[in-house]
Structure 1
Amino acid sequence: MTSATAPSLASLATPPLDPKHEQRTAHDTPLFSGLPGDIGVSFEFFPPKSEKMEAKLWEAVQELAPLGPDFVSVTYGAGGSTRERTHNTVARIISEAHIPAAAHLTCVDASRAETQKIAEQYWEAGVRHIVALRGDAGEPGAPFVAHPEGYASAAELVAGLKEVADFEISVAAYPETHPDADCPQSDLDNLKRKIDAGATRAISQFFFSHETFFDFREKAAAAGIAAPVVPGILPVTNVAQARKFAGQCGAVIPEWMDGLFDGLDERPAARQLVAATVAAELCRRLYAGGVRQFHFYTLNRADLAYAICHMLGRRPQEQAQ
């Protein structure tokens, strides 16, 4: 093939647009028009490490509270200081914001007796919902090693919590398979063990393709998992940070996201707009597939989660009445 007839690199990289398809798309009903707001939402926060971070967290809680979340959850790590911050944050949300709050609890670095004592303290503080996780060792890539007298898995933790009190329990699901799992089927088998042990629902790790979630939900149902699987949504403003998170949990960051955020490092407002658009479109596609419950990983920021809920028709509850 001579250079005169060879296609350009640009034509190879970008297929020509179909004008009729583009015209039909432009005239379709807008994605977010007329949604009735018939969704349930929940939000995840992490415990603050300073007074400044605590103030930021509380601002986020107060901004999202009018949306009437089913619950908010507060993450948890190994170590006494983190446990105390989680407990204090959850207790404050319940007593001051009057929102149902779920505390995270893991198997890491604690005996069964210690874990059950923590659960008893949560119950006494008014906590009725726990997100039960196996947890990670702390160092990236380090394998999980169970405490000699502790729970060896999330399924064991769920069963142990049910012995303490009649907690509502959420567990984790991994649409793209947990990094420690031998294969997708063994990961599904592990999820079923957690549900069979007494978990109420599964909350998925974040993902960026609606097909990924729907495929996982079908496989979970085929595996005999009847409990609801709620999609976890991570609005991304920092692709490098999201890539770090993804590496820890087995999620895939699609290449097209790099292109969308390219050149926006010094433009935070533009990054926010792109992040909200991408996450809202994902949620809209999930909604079209029948999803009516969404769990947002807020990173202690309210603006993106609030905007997405608004686009999905969720309004402050006093306005919706």
Structure 2
Amino acid sequence: MTTPDVSFEFFPPQSLEASFRLWDTVNVLAPLAPRFVSVTYGAGGTTRDLTRDAVATLHKHMGLNVAAHLTCVNATKDETLAIADSFAEAGVTELVALRGDPPKGQGAFSVHPGGFANSVDLVQALAERGKFTIRVGAYPEPHPDAADTAADVAWLKRKFQAGADEAITQFFFETDTFLRFRDACDKAGIDKPVIPGIFPIENWKGARNFALRCGTDVPAWLDDAFEKAARDGREDLLATALCTEMCSKLIAEGVETLHFYTLNRPELTRDVCHALGVAPDVTLENVA
């Protein structure tokens, strides 16, 4: 089996305890030599400053290739581009450009006065800066605001045409979900990388609720599997086996790169990566 390239997504810390958790997560996963690590925004841009601080710290002190999330929410075009420029000034030239979720309780996304209307406009403006590697989101199952998968594919193509370099998908629970989406992208003439987003299941109840909010299909067999595993106290073993099996199938189908949503809980992601043959680089261990 071909050993995949990997990347990891982190949350910015919002407390002292969360800061220690992020630092521990980075120390566990950095030795796996990721292509990059990304740091998210909260809904409505609520962690914008925390994201900036976390990105700068990881880039400066950990020597990691860091990609900062950037959204259209709650900021004018000038404010958003100023944030992007501040990342570049700090040496961070990789961005994950997203429309972003509305603030909690707001409901549907609405355009900020003077702000970017959507992710395509944001990508185009960033591309015109000429100094960023731009990644975007992709949805193998219909985005809550999209009519269907065909509409998602068409919108993804527009983001690539606007200047995006790569896409990272929303997570999914069945391999065929991604493979069908990849086929649809190929048929639509998309020839840039579409990277599957992998979500190791640390807690099934939490993962299930998160999936339903994101519009991700939850197969009945997963409910049954985790219910049985819980009776035997084998949830972690099941989660590791399921995630490793899905990644192995993706690799067998020609996928060369995997992006892991870690939720700042690194152990399961690390174990899956080890099972896939992603070995620690001894020169990167104990990087702190």
TM-score of the two chains, using structure 2 as the length reference? 0.93
Name the counterpart of 2:275: 311
Q: Is the 8 A contact 2:45 2:103 kept in 1?
A: no
- In the alignment, which of 235, 250, 270 is matched to residue 215 of structure 2? 250
Q: Separation in 2 of the partners of 1:113 and 1:165?
A: 16
RMSD (CA atoms): 1.9
What is the deviation of 1:82?
1.1
Q: Separation in 2 of the partners of 1:93 and 1:195?
A: 28
Q: Is residue 195 of structure 1 aligned with residue 163 of structure 2?
A: no
SS in 1 for 2:47: helix
Cα separation, partners in 2 of 1:151 and 1:80, compared to 1, 3 Å: closer
Cα separation, partners in 2 of 1:308 and 1:140, compared to 1, 3 Å: farther
Worse overlay, 130-139 or 101-110: 130-139
For 1:141-290, what aligned pairs fall within 5 Å after superposition?
A: 142-262=107-227, 270-290=234-254
Where does the alignment leave 5 or more consecutive residues of structure 2 unmatched?
Answer: none
Greater RCO (CA < 8 Å, at least 6 residues apart): 2
Q: Separation in 2 of the partners of 1:172 and 1:264?
A: 32
Name the counterpart of 1:14: none
Structure 2 counterpart of 1:145, one-letter code? S
Deviations 1:110-165 (A, max 9, x none): 10000011001110111110000001113368111011211111111111112334
- Matched-pair identity in %: 47
Cα separation, partners in 2 of 1:232 and 1:78, compared to 1, 3 Å: closer
Structure 1 counterpart of 2:246, one-letter code? L
SS in 2 for 1:299: coil
Deviations 1:192-239 (A, max 9, x none): 111111111110100111111111001011111111110000011222
Q: How many correspondences in the alignment?
A: 284
What is the deviation of 1:179?
1.0
Where does the alignment leave 5 or more consecutive residues of structure 1 unmatched?
Answer: 1-34
Name the counterpart of 2:21: 56
Name the counterpart of 2:265: 301
Q: Separation in 2 of the partners of 1:80 and 1:214?
A: 32
Cα separation, partners in 2 of 1:144 and 1:79, compared to 1, 3 Å: closer
Q: Separation in 1 of the partners of 2:169 and 2:62?
A: 26
Q: Is the 8 A contact 2:243 2:272 kept in 1?
A: yes
Q: Which has the larger radius of gyration?
A: 1
Worse overlay, 233-242 or 276-285: 233-242
Q: Separation in 2 of the partners of 1:237 and 1:266?
A: 16
TM-score of the two chains, using structure 1 as the length reference? 0.84
SS in 1 for 2:234: helix
Q: Separation in 2 of the partners of 1:85 and 1:140?
A: 21
SS in 1 for 2:109: coil
Cα separation, partners in 2 of 1:36 and 1:231, compared to 1, 3 Å: closer
Worse overlay, 97-106 or 179-188: 179-188
What is the deviation of 1:302?
1.1
Deviations 1:222-277 (A, max 9, x none): 1111111100000112222222221232211111111121166698x732221111
What is the deviation of 1:187?
1.3
Cα separation, partners in 2 of 1:277 and 1:161, compared to 1, 3 Å: same
What is the deviation of 1:80?
7.0
For 1:73-152, what aligned pairs fall within 5 Å after superposition?
A: 73-77=38-42, 82-139=47-104, 142-152=107-117
Q: Separation in 2 of the partners of 1:155 and 1:65?
A: 32
What is the deviation of 1:78?
5.4
Q: Is the 8 A contact 1:78 1:109 kept in 2?
A: no
Structure 1 counterpart of 2:52, one-letter code? H
Q: Is the 8 A contact 2:76 2:116 kept in 1?
A: yes
Q: Separation in 2 of the partners of 1:283 and 1:210?
A: 8
Q: Separation in 2 of the partners of 1:70 and 1:111?
A: 31
Structure 2 counterpart of 1:40, one-letter code? D
Structure 2 counterpart of 1:139, one-letter code? K
Stretches (4+) displaced over 6 A: none
Q: Is the 8 A contact 1:77 1:106 kept in 2?
A: no
